[in-house]
Amino acid sequence: MSDIYVPGIKSRFDTEKLIEGLMKVERIPKERSEKQVEQLQAEKTYWQDLSRRMSTLRESARFLYSFQNPFNDRIVNSSDPSVLSGTSTREAVAQEFSFTVKQTAQADRFLSDPLEDSFTVEEGTYTFSIGQERISFPFRGGSLREFIEILNRRGRDKIGGSLIAVQPGKKSLLIESRITGAENSLIFSEAAEALGLRSGMLEQGKEVSRTLREEVLTVDPGGTAFIPFNLGEVSAQTAMLQFEIATKVHTQNVQSSSGDPSEFPLEATANQDAEEDRSSTAIPSWTPLEPVTQVDDMQVLYLTYSDGTNSALPPITDSSDFNAYRYRFIDVAGDKSNKTIVSLEMVNQNTHREISIRNLQFIDLEAEGGITPRNPVSLAQDAVITMEGIEITRPTNKIDDLIPGLTITARSPSDKPIQLKVEPDQEAVKDAIISLVGNYNRLMADLNVLTRTDERVIQELSYLSAEEQGDLRKRLGVFTGDSILSQFKNSLQRATAATYPTSANRDLALLAQIGIGTDIRGSGSSSGYDPARLRGYLEINEKALDTALQTNLPAIAQLFGSDNNGDFIVDSGIAYAFETLTKPFVEIGGIIALKSGTIDSQISQEQRRVETLERQLALKEASLKNQYGQMEGAYNRMERMSSSLDQFSQQDNKR
């Protein structure tokens, strides 16, 4: 049926098929150019991928000797991180410290009595003070939950509240300061104080202060005095001692003479005989007295305990006027805060200073203002730690101003000394070295695939997926004739086997000496010949690398990058060599940029040729269609003429 000719619908001579056959031959140059464009675009992609691999290797190499290199990173190891932990910056010096956490910094946290769900907070202005901070807001009255929402919103990072279901149908209100430190006590004012009393969170204090001695007591130079007092059971966390101190310095008269009696002549008398008798009396030789040593000692006050021990108060300062001093018992007594204080002792070891004290008072901080917390979950206090026996007090548990570059965090009190050791971050160095080796091997794999035609270079990459291996097969041997890449690959291999000067001299001058090389198997290995080891890939012996990092870290840093001419610019090392070799390829206007630019020009040229061929093919196809159309038209006319002649001949025969 396909051969049936239908005039006006199907060509008698199947001209479309004839034209398509002719055009197929004509399209060969265009198809060749299109295939060339695809190949050029693929080559450009391969160069771009190589550029990314080289850039990655260059960055990991520069990281190992740049200003931010991991060899200067520091970590802090604590013998008990649950008690004390630390972090450090690169400025910290590698050393070890001993700390003891006596107490951690806390903030005031007050809990109310169990409250019914129907408990309401009355309308009013609620004011809270934390140290120098003041939070105040109006509340129109409502439930505890509504009050908590406003308190948290207005208090932000300074004060907050929550509800705790302590019993079925009852909740306790918790209001807490979020600022630690002894000077940051939480104080309720106005409607807040009324809420605290009504909810059982606060109660009226029993006593604010007690005067222990009001009159002036003066201690002369070299003297001692005791002021006995009985405080009974007091909280060392909240008890304070307050007094006023004045000093009077005596001016010592210094004689101008040496004191030698020969300097003072005897007075003349009228009686010559008496003068002769007196002059004949033997006078003993003069021995000069030792000068009196002046003593200045401002450490004069001590708390004495019932067991005979004592704790020194901080030194006083000279002042002819009475100055007030105030100390918390917990800050003075420290680990003796559970002992009973029996007196205040004044020891004046000064040779020229008398000391006077007056208005000695005991103050209970919980009772100040007549209001105390009934159910304190915690009370505001400073962090107290000792470093190498030196006591340090801070309002927060995070202390960053004690040792340059070191931040310590007190987490819980403990009598056990905690050792903090600042040391190099060997794991960071190891990770950076492993990253460098990985990036080197990945680049070397791409170079081997692109410059070789042996498919074994792909099969050796067992860590790749089937899809990745398939993609590499398309690239196999694409740049076989590119001498620049072959030279670059050989240079990389030579760099890994070269020697570099370090402080360890020959003991550490090769990459293989830290467990990295193309074949790091032991001499007794019998795994046989492995051609993959000749491709330039690096292996890592982690055990050998760990040992080298622990014993010779400075020399390893020099192995990867060092300054040999004293100009403070790195000019040697494996990482420096990698960076130097890759730089001409990946920098702006470098080798790969030139290669890509050349390919872009070739692609543009081929695309213009394709466009020209497309226009020519369109004209050619139109011409063929026109010619074959004319041929079929002529044939049809001849056929009609032949038919007419046949009819005329038949009619003539009938006559």
DSSP 8-class letter at 278: H
How sure is the predictor about 213, in pLDDT bands with cuts at 50, 70 and 90?
confident
Please say if the pLDDT value at position 241 is more than 90: no
pLDDT in tens, 386-412: 998 899 999 999 999 999 999 999 999
Average pLDDT value for residue range 600-612: 90
How sure is the predictor about 527, in pLDDT bands with cuts at 50, 70 and 90?
low
Question: For residue 523, what pLDDT is reported?
Answer: 44
User: How do strand 115-116 and strand 170-177 relate by DSSP bridges?
Assistant: antiparallel
pLDDT in tens, 335-362: 776 777 888 899 999 989 999 999 998 8
pLDDT in tens, 81-110: 999 999 999 889 989 999 999 999 999 999
pLDDT in tens, 618-647: 888 888 888 877 887 787 788 788 887 777
Average pLDDT, the chain: 85
Please say if the pLDDT value at position 296 is more than 70: yes
The region of weakest confidence among 4-13, 162-171, 510-519, 628-637 is 4-13
Average pLDDT value for residue range 326-333: 78
Residue type, 23: M
The alpha carbon of 434 is separated from its chain's Cα centroid by a whole number of angstroms, namely 21
The region of weakest confidence among 22-31, 320-329, 416-425, 644-653 is 644-653
Average pLDDT value for residue range 256-271: 45
Please say if the pLDDT value at position 266 is more than 50: no
Question: For residue 4, what pLDDT is reported?
Answer: 43
How sure is the predictor about 372, in pLDDT bands with cuts at 50, 70 and 90?
confident
Question: For residue 257, what pLDDT is reported?
Answer: 42
Share of the chain above pLDDT 70, in %: 85
Please say if the pLDDT value at position 53 is more than 90: yes
Question: For residue 654, what pLDDT is reported?
Answer: 67
Helices (H) and strands (E) in the chain, counts: 14, 31
Spatial separation of the C-alpha atoms in residues 406 and 564, rounded to whole Å = 32
As a whole number of Å, the end-to-end CA separation of the chain is: 41
Question: Of 555, 547, 566, nearest to 502 (Cα)?
Answer: 555
More confident residue, 283 or 202: 202
Please answer whether residues 70 and 428 qualify as being in contact, where contact means their C-beta atoms are separated by less than 8 angstroms. Answer: yes
Distance set, CA 107 to CA 13, 207, 320, 367, 595 (Å): 102, 23, 38, 18, 67
How sure is the predictor about 510, in pLDDT bands with cuts at 50, 70 and 90?
very high
Average pLDDT value for residue range 42-54: 94
Spatial separation of the C-alpha atoms in residues 191 and 252, rounded to whole Å = 62
Domain borders along the chain are 63-69+428-522+530-585, 74-104+394-424, 109-204
Question: For residue 421, what pLDDT is reported?
Answer: 95
What burial class does residue 195 get, using C-beta atoms within 10 Å of its C-beta: 0-12 exposed, 13-18 middle, 19+ buried?
buried
Average pLDDT value for residue range 538-561: 94
How sure is the predictor about 132, in pLDDT bands with cuts at 50, 70 and 90?
confident
Radius of gyration of the chain (CA): 49
Question: Virtual CA dihedral for 464, 468, 469, 475, nearest 10 degrees?
Answer: -130
User: How do strand 115-116 and strand 239-249 relate by DSSP bridges?
Assistant: unpaired
Share of the chain above pLDDT 90, in %: 52
Please say if the pLDDT value at position 272 is more than 70: no
The pair of three-digit structure tokens given for residue 483, joined into one six-digit string: 């001498």
Please say if the pLDDT value at position 532 is more than 70: no
Spatial separation of the C-alpha atoms in residues 468 and 446, rounded to whole Å = 12
Please say if the pLDDT value at position 265 is more than 70: no
Question: For residue 264, what pLDDT is reported?
Answer: 43
Question: For residue 207, what pLDDT is reported?
Answer: 54
Q: Count of residues for the chain?
A: 655
pLDDT in tens, 469-485: 888 898 999 999 899 99
Please say if the pLDDT value at position 277 is more than 80: no
The region of weakest confidence among 4-13, 208-217, 539-548 is 4-13
Question: For residue 292, what pLDDT is reported?
Answer: 67
How sure is the predictor about 282, in pLDDT bands with cuts at 50, 70 and 90?
low
Instruction: State pTM to two decimals.
Output: 0.64
